[in-house]
Structure 1
Amino acid sequence: MKAYGASDIGLKREQNEDHIYYAYNEAHYFLGLVCDGIGGQNAGDVASKIAVDIFKHAFQHADALHDDESVRKWLKKQIQTANDEIFAIASGSYEYKGMGTTISGVLITSKESAYLFNAGDSRVYGLYDQLVLLSEDHSFVNDLIKRGEISEEDALTHPKRNMLTNALGIWDDVKMDLNRINPAYRALMITSDGVHDYVPLAIMQDVVADGHLGTKEKVERLIALANRAGGYDNSSVVLVEKEVPYE
């Protein structure tokens, strides 16, 4: 498999509060993460880095993720550890009060076993015949959409579109979505909202499915498109592709 990831400050923000991680470990598992920090001053940057660092350290030593239950336990442990550390620092410091971070990721342990996990509104997509959203946003506007109170188009301009209902570090306990991914994917992509809020799904699909572009080129193009749309937020992408030719 081929993988690449990048993060960009955008054109409007003073700092980049996103952190990403993607790597294989000695057990030949793959982990990809996008964390989008929230909070005033540099607190969001701190929270997202804490989450990435905890996962990175644990993943380098993870070697027994051989079934659904072991994966579930490992992911739940890392999520809770990251939540506890961010929450403790935020609770004990005025400077970091209220900080938190989204987290979305994929864990691939074999050709047939891939998992997504998510808390917040960063996203996981899968390329099959089409590019499909695999994760579910934990946000106020997504709850409104599910209840049929607003449309997806309305959500793009809703005044509370950035309000999250779940994230790491905000509460002393955290909920995490964890789902097994259909292994027939051609590619898996993780994005922060600085990308998927500004680049339409059809355009993202055209880029990811383009057989003439390399993995790195696809990531760079998606970030460039986010900046071309205004660059209003930090933008991050992690893309992992199976090494098979695209039609």
Structure 2
Amino acid sequence: MRSYCLTDQGLVRKTNQDSILLTHNQNGDLLGAVCDGIGGGVAGDVASGLAVAALKEAFQNAPRFENDQGAKQWLHKEISKANEAIFVQASQTIHQKGMGTTLVGVLITDQDAYNFNIGDSRTYGLYGKEFVLLTEDHNLVGDLVKSGEISEEEAMHHPQRNLLTNALGIWDHVKIDINKIKRDFDCLLICSDGLHGYVSNEKIYRVLMESIDIKEKAQKLVELSKAAGGYDNVSVILIENGDAHEK
């Protein structure tokens, strides 16, 4: 299994409020996560950094995941603890009040794989030639798409596309999507909306299908975001299973 992560400030933002995590633990499990800080100047980078640091520390001491229940319970417990840490710090520090972050990622063991999501960062899966969105956006336009009121294409240009309905650290309790996903993926892509908010799924898919190194794919995806204006921070994690790029 090959993996690579990359984050970039973009061409417009003065800081990078994204934080990324890609690591293995002592059991050989892999954890990848992207956090996109929210709140503008209100310490979004602090919130995303706190989330990544909390998950990284917990993962290094994680037990062996024997079954679905154990893996999902661990994810729920540790993500909830990260939420509490951000919420408490924000409530105690005036200039950090209101800070929060999205959180999306995957946990991969020898036998199984799981994704988790809060907010509007995304995980995609490439299975053969099938390119699948594995997460559900927690934002206003996501709800509108789900109800059939607008299309995916209309959502990309909707004036309220950045209005989140769920985020880590904003409230004392948080809703977490945790799902088991098929382990026989060719490639997983975890990204902030700096990529999927500006680059079409078709363009992303074409890059993932190229017969190039995983690092080059990540760099190409970031460059596509910049070519679209570079209006936002952009983060990508790629995880390839076996010889997925040799097609």
TM superposition score category, shorter chain reference: over 0.9
> Which whole-Å deviations, capped at 9, do the CAs of 1:95-131 have from their partners, x for residues lacking one?
0111100000000011x30000000000000001222
Alignment partners' CA distance in 2, 1:200 and 1:158: 15
Residue type matched to 1:123 in 2? R
Alignment partners' CA distance in 2, 1:40 and 1:231: 16
Q: What is the match of residue 223 of structure 2?
A: 224
> Which whole-Å deviations, capped at 9, do the CAs of 1:184-237 have from their partners, x for residues lacking one?
2101110000001111111111111212x1111111110011001100000000
Q: Is the CA contact 2:195–2:234 (under 8 Å) kept in the aligned structure 1? A: yes
Shift in alpha-carbon separation, 1:171–1:42, aligned structure 2, 3 A? closer
| Larger CA deviation: 151-160 vs 19-28 | 151-160
Alignment partners' CA distance in 1, 2:17 and 2:123: 19
Q: What is the match of residue 113 of structure 2?
A: 114
Scaled by the length of structure 2, what TM-score is found?
0.96
Alignment partners' CA distance in 2, 1:116 and 1:176: 10
Unaligned runs of 5+ in 1: none
Q: What is the match of residue 210 of structure 2?
A: 210
Structure 1 runs (4+) greater than 3 angstroms displaced: none
Q: What is the match of residue 75 of structure 2?
A: 75
* Equivalences for residues 128-207 of structure 1 within 5 A: 128=127, 129-207=129-207
Q: What is the match of residue 85 of structure 1?
A: 85
The alpha carbon displacement at 1:53 in A equals: 0.1
Two-structure CA RMSD over aligned residues (Å): 1.1
Unaligned runs of 5+ in 2: none
Alignment partners' CA distance in 2, 1:138 and 1:41: 22
The alpha carbon displacement at 1:42 in A equals: 5.1
Alignment partners' CA distance in 2, 1:40 and 1:10: 15
The number of residue pairs the alignment matches comes to: 245
Q: What is the match of residue 233 of structure 1?
A: 232
Q: Is the CA contact 1:122–1:193 (under 8 Å) kept in the aligned structure 2? A: yes
Alignment partners' CA distance in 1, 2:213 and 2:106: 20
Q: What is the match of residue 34 of structure 1?
A: 34
Q: What is the match of residue 124 of structure 2?
A: 125
Identity %: 51
**Corresponding residue SS for 1:138:** coil
Residue type matched to 2:184 in 1? A
The alpha carbon displacement at 1:143 in A equals: 0.6
Scaled by the length of structure 1, what TM-score is found?
0.96
Q: What is the match of residue 13 of structure 1?
A: 13
Residue type matched to 2:120 in 1? D
The alpha carbon displacement at 1:48 in A equals: 0.1
Alignment partners' CA distance in 2, 1:43 and 1:137: 22
> Which whole-Å deviations, capped at 9, do the CAs of 1:143-188 have from their partners, x for residues lacking one?
1111222222221222211000111011110011011111221011
Residue type matched to 2:242 in 1? E
> Which whole-Å deviations, capped at 9, do the CAs of 1:54-95 have from their partners, x for residues lacking one?
000011111321211111111011111111011111112220
